[in-house]
Structure 1
Amino acid sequence: MALVQYSDSEDTDPEPQPPRKKPRQENANEKLPPLPAAFRDLYATNTRRSVHDDPSLHGGRKRVIPHVEGNWPTHIYLEWIPNRSELKVLEGILSKCNSRLGDEKLRMHSLLYSDLGVQLPLHISLSRPVVLRTEQKDSFLELLRHRVTHSGIQRFNVVPTSLYWVSNYERTRWFLVLRVERPEKDTLNRLLRISNESLAVFGQPPLYAPASTAAQRESGAMREKHPSRPTVEEQDYSDCFHISLAWSLTEPSAEGKTRTMDVDLGAVRQIEIPFDCVKAKIGNVVSSLPLK
């Protein structure tokens, strides 16, 4: 049998290859960069699971503003996303409040996390839930943006002061809230005034101000032609501003309210909550209006 001939190159040993680099192992303690603020605005609305108002899908809550073609539910607010240490402090406060309501026949739902365990942003409201028509929403946002931009209001901080219970306007839900101190330069009242006056131009009721200001709402069409005309009295609503931490379909008893309001806030009072923009949610779209 003939021998198989190999080339000289096949007789030699193969060139030594450089050692393969081991795949980089992620350090479990390595901190990931925070998500940009605009990312949360893109996903600020939960997936709709029903075209009808089904309270069983969201803890028994009933929709205050029904879905109507051509109507745009609108909310103006300041957003706070607590960091991990702040979340831990808030969780401790809710745990203490729950234990003090142990003998009450109510269920307190946390607003710190969603049903899937995802952290939720908290907020201070600058408007009640209102409705704009399709032909109004762009003009309203333009007016609000103009007034915030030219207000001269700068970024600011607030500090929590006490716990309190409040209800919504329909008294269908009760909220355990953190009240906050009046910030420097009366910033919250000034922003509330801008929100109230901007909404009044489009015939919408103010937040905290008496709802009986029918004259303002009836003359909304006239004010659309004169948006710079002031409409809301400069009152002090510092005691009204708050951050909701939890909600319940059942009103706590007077004794239960007292027991929870007496919880020692401890480290909560050391938190400085920063705000650098006003948020306007119109339908499913969230717009950020930056402060100076």
Structure 2
Amino acid sequence: MSALSYISEYGSNSEDSDCEIYSASAVKKIKLHVPDLSNIAVVPKENIKDNPAVHGGRKRSFPHERGNWASFIYVKYPDEEFLHNWIEKLREEVSCVEATCEQCDNIHISLSKTFILKYHLINPFTSSLQEVLGSIECFELSFGAIKVYCNEENTRTFISLEVDYSSNKYLSNISNKIDQVLEEYKLPKFYDDPSFHVSLLWFHGNKKRELKDILEKLNNTVQQDLHQHNKTGFIDKLNCKIGNKYFQYSLQP
């Protein structure tokens, strides 16, 4: 039956909702039949449940919702081999902690919190980022120490390499420029006093107390290694991930 047929036949079993049709010569009361809609398919509202089991035990910070794109801005350290070597060293050192240790995916240095961007804002937002980041010059990035962090929900603890003082100052300047764009789009800005770092390993829950005793030993090792090799990374690009889309911004030479 067509949609127009449903419109012409739609009615109610209630006497109060009967449709009355008047003509000049007589008044007739016609009761319309209720159409049979049992064969019409109903599309249910999308309901995606979080399943930490398929994400290594990780939980979403916010629920999935159609039209919302999880986004963040970050730096990729160019020498991944150097970072992976440190992952193996750290994994050996933290083996004394009675908890499963996992390697971090997509190793990076965050320049923003994870924020939600609506689809129709992706193009103007990325264009605004281009305007702000286009004048930033390339720079050298170095690390200073091992540091332990917990996420805001205290569901995960991270073992990380913190950048050194001069790199932190440079990244703070970039983050302030990004905050201007975030504020323009009424999105959450980064932390007031950010500590820029690359997270390498993580544990479930808050393990700061368990890791406190071995931090000094870890830092003695990293200081000797960094001093010996004078390790720095040349940063000439910044990145933005919006859902499954990746945007890259080249810095000035």
Normalized per residue, which structure has more strand? Answer: 2
* Deviation (angstroms), 1:255: 4.8
Could you say which residue in structure 1 is the equivalent of 2:77?
Answer: 80
Letter in 2 for 1:128: K
Q: Check if 1:95 corresponds to 2:50.
A: no
Could you say which residue in structure 2 is the equivalent of 1:175?
Answer: 158
Residues 91-131 of structure 1, C-alpha deviation per residue, up to 9 Å, x if partnerless?
343134323xx1x33221112xxxxxxxx652110101100
Normalized per residue, which structure has more helix? Answer: 2
Question: 3-state DSSP class of the match of 1:77?
Answer: strand
Structure 2 gaps, min length 5: 1-47
The answer on whether the counterparts of 2:157 and 2:208 sit within 8 Å (CA) in structure 1 is no
Q: Check if 1:166 corresponds to 2:149.
A: yes
Could you say which residue in structure 2 is the equivalent of 1:130?
Answer: 115
Could you say which residue in structure 1 is the equivalent of 2:250?
Answer: 290
Measure, in 1, the Cα distance between the counterparts of 2:210 and 2:167.
Answer: 34
The answer on whether the counterparts of 2:160 and 2:198 sit within 8 Å (CA) in structure 1 is yes
Could you say which residue in structure 1 is the equivalent of 2:6?
Answer: none
Measure, in 1, the Cα distance between the counterparts of 2:208 and 2:109.
Answer: 25
Q: Check if 1:246 corresponds to 2:235.
A: no
Would the alpha carbon gap of residues 206 and 89 (structure 1) be closer, same or farther in structure 2, given more than 3 Å must change?
A: same
Letter in 2 for 1:95: R
Would the alpha carbon gap of residues 261 and 241 (structure 1) be closer, same or farther in structure 2, given more than 3 Å must change?
A: farther
Question: 3-state DSSP class of the match of 1:80?
Answer: coil
CA RMSD of aligned residues (A): 2.3
Measure, in 2, the Cα distance between the counterparts of 1:289 and 1:133.
Answer: 21
Letter in 1 for 2:130: R
Would the alpha carbon gap of residues 82 and 65 (structure 1) be closer, same or farther in structure 2, given more than 3 Å must change?
A: farther
The answer on whether the counterparts of 2:154 and 2:205 sit within 8 Å (CA) in structure 1 is no
Using the aligned pairs only, state the percent identity. Answer: 26
* Deviation (angstroms), 1:66: 2.5
Measure, in 2, the Cα distance between the counterparts of 1:176 and 1:79.
Answer: 17
Could you say which residue in structure 1 is the equivalent of 2:237?
Answer: 277
Could you say which residue in structure 1 is the equivalent of 2:98?
Answer: 105
Would the alpha carbon gap of residues 110 and 181 (structure 1) be closer, same or farther in structure 2, given more than 3 Å must change?
A: same
Letter in 2 for 1:90: W
Measure, in 1, the Cα distance between the counterparts of 2:154 and 2:54.
Answer: 20
Could you say which residue in structure 2 is the equivalent of 1:146?
Answer: 131
Would the alpha carbon gap of residues 76 and 87 (structure 1) be closer, same or farther in structure 2, given more than 3 Å must change?
A: closer
48, 52, 56: which is aligned to 1:55? 52
Question: 3-state DSSP class of the match of 1:187?
Answer: helix
Letter in 2 for 1:267: D
Letter in 1 for 2:125: F
Aligned residues: 201
188, 191, 200: which is aligned to 2:183? 200
Measure, in 1, the Cα distance between the counterparts of 2:117 and 2:80.
Answer: 34
Measure, in 2, the Cα distance between the counterparts of 1:91 and 1:196.
Answer: 31
Aligned runs of 1:182-261 on 2, under 5 Å?
182-183=165-166, 186-209=169-192, 237=193, 240-261=195-216
Structure 1 gaps, min length 5: 1-50, 112-119, 210-236
The answer on whether the counterparts of 1:107 and 1:250 sit within 8 Å (CA) in structure 2 is no
